[in-house]
Chain A
């Protein structure tokens, strides 16, 4: 067989292969988006409409559903949204700032326990929060902090996975010469960290802030054990409440619109920043 023939054959199989790849990719995209498409459609339809069965086209009841769900006294949605935003933002802020600080401490200074500290954090990185939940709840109870946001916010100061990402990023992006020259300029160590190091870490902080925010926004296990009063509940708890309510009596328009409220803002924010986030995932390898 001559080389030329081989090549044109190669082009042909390449074209078929590409077409096949795109076919599979489009199929996967369809499977990924279909549930959200139905969500979008059904959150715009009224309860009787939804009961009639599946529809491809949206209805006109989106405002009606929104009004109903926001005035539903059993589901304090507005509180839920505000609580979720408050807790998630503070989580994002604290976990990124203090993780960067911890990573800087281990990256830039040499001290006796440095290696031990680093090893310790690597070791505890995979320990799930659920295994210490019992002790956590007992501790929180003894501090009289049940039904408070504090136990859902303050512990984010110690976020081993965020730390790991920051440490990795520092190794590639923060030469110690910068720290030294800042010292020569007379800045103290805290100023060096806040004014020199943090700006350099901006890309890593942004990625991890997004992940921390989303993780906290989605968190259900611990908040559901700690938050008791209706006004303090976060969105995931309200959704779980929806599930345990007598489902058949429920207005499906409200069910769908509430799910939409929990899902679509994150989805839209993601789509705007997706390139940036996807790059962040690859960089941080460990983050899930």
Chain B
């Protein structure tokens, strides 16, 4: 445990009366609720992943301790690997345009020589982030259905017969990725802007005086200094990508079709939760937890690096 004297300077200021019990009182509700509703369930999820416990019709199988069998079964079936790669492919399809467009917009919005009127555009591009993902997905389902408005437009443009967007793996994944892109590129733009604006302007000025060109400034100054926030965006987006659920669930009605090629990890988990296949749901959850924990460790380093003033996310 860290000695109290090392805990920052508030201690020194408040010599006479000890207020430390108030610290505990103020943080107590958070820790109580967190323990009850998050920590205990997490431990119980881990615990349940070692039991065989499911239902066949009216018959209840288990709970019976089976060690790592659920995990072995998951990997042997191979579905989880397929769903993991589906999730990552769809995430990447959305993330690549997202980061490119966001970077471009962030550089434009912060370039004072361009003098763009930005507030309107900033408002518009951030808007899809607040839209209900399930409603957005339902909207896209209606728009891109076989006799929906998009096909009606395509037919007017001379297409012979409706394009069946949701019967092809490529277009289904593409639609999910496109929705993710629309929902997140505004957010990323604003984070990257905050990062760029946090860079000391005198660095840019001196580079300009030294005759550096726009792309040189971008590649040699902006990008390296933006690295922490860039990394932050990358990893948080990847964690968000692993949690992808609402959009593909509604778009494909939970089937992940065609050929379960757009079934994501959380959709798989959701299926087991619904069918009350407790052991398998537990094993999927634990695997997800491990993957996100590894990624979170990176985010944690970036965020806590900021506390010591060594870069990280600029406020």
Interface positions of A (Cβ within 8 A of B): 14, 17-18, 21-22, 24-25, 28-29, 31-33, 35, 38-39, 42, 51, 53-54, 98-99, 101-102, 104-106, 108-117, 119, 121-139, 151, 154-155, 157-158, 160, 163-164, 168, 172, 176, 180, 189, 193, 214, 217-218, 220-221, 225, 235-236, 239-240, 242-244, 247, 252, 255-256, 259, 262-263, 266-267, 270-271, 274-275, 277-278, 281-283, 285-286, 288
Of the residues A32, A155, A286, contact of B33 by C-beta under 8 Å:
A155
- Complexed CA–CA distance, A80 and B194 (Å): 38
- Establish whether residues B23 and A274, one from each chain, have CB atoms under 8 Å apart when the complex forms: no
Contact status of A139 and B40, CB under 8 A, knowing A110-B4, A157-B29: yes
Contact status of A134 and B135, CB under 8 A, knowing A21-B116, A38-B149: no
- Establish whether residues A131 and B20, one from each chain, have CB atoms under 8 Å apart when the complex forms: no
The interface residues of chain B, by DSSP majority, are classed as helix
- Establish whether residues B7 and A115, one from each chain, have CB atoms under 8 Å apart when the complex forms: yes
- Establish whether residues B30 and A127, one from each chain, have CB atoms under 8 Å apart when the complex forms: no
Give the residue name and chain of the B residue nearest to A283 (CB). Answer: B315
Given contacts A35-B143, A221-B245, 20 further A-B contacts (CB under 8 A): A18-B115, A25-B108, A32-B125, A51-B147, A110-B10, A111-B21, A117-B31, A122-B304, A126-B295, A128-B242, A135-B42, A135-B48, A158-B29, A168-B315, A189-B19, A221-B266, A240-B138, A240-B249, A266-B132, A286-B236
- Complexed CA–CA distance, A106 and B22 (Å): 10
C-beta contact mask, B12-46 vs A, less than 8 Å → 1, else 0?
Answer: 01100001111111110111011011101111110
- Complexed CA–CA distance, A225 and B245 (Å): 13
- Complexed CA–CA distance, A111 and B11 (Å): 8
Q: Which residues of B contact A283 (CB under 8 A)?
A: 194, 315
- Complexed CA–CA distance, A19 and B231 (Å): 32
Interface size class of B (residues with CB under 8 A): 35 or more
- Complexed CA–CA distance, A125 and B236 (Å): 11
Q: Which residues of A contact B47 (CB under 8 A)?
A: 135
Q: Which residues of B contact A151 (CB under 8 A)?
A: 37
Q: Which residues of B contact A18 (CB under 8 A)?
A: 114-116
The interface residues of chain A, by DSSP majority, are classed as helix
- Establish whether residues A133 and B285, one from each chain, have CB atoms under 8 Å apart when the complex forms: yes
- Establish whether residues A158 and B34, one from each chain, have CB atoms under 8 Å apart when the complex forms: yes
Q: Which residues of A contact B45 (CB under 8 A)?
A: 131-135
Contact status of A134 and B29, CB under 8 A, knowing A105-B23, A220-B246, A255-B142: no
- Complexed CA–CA distance, A247 and B253 (Å): 11
- Establish whether residues B33 and A157, one from each chain, have CB atoms under 8 Å apart when the complex forms: yes
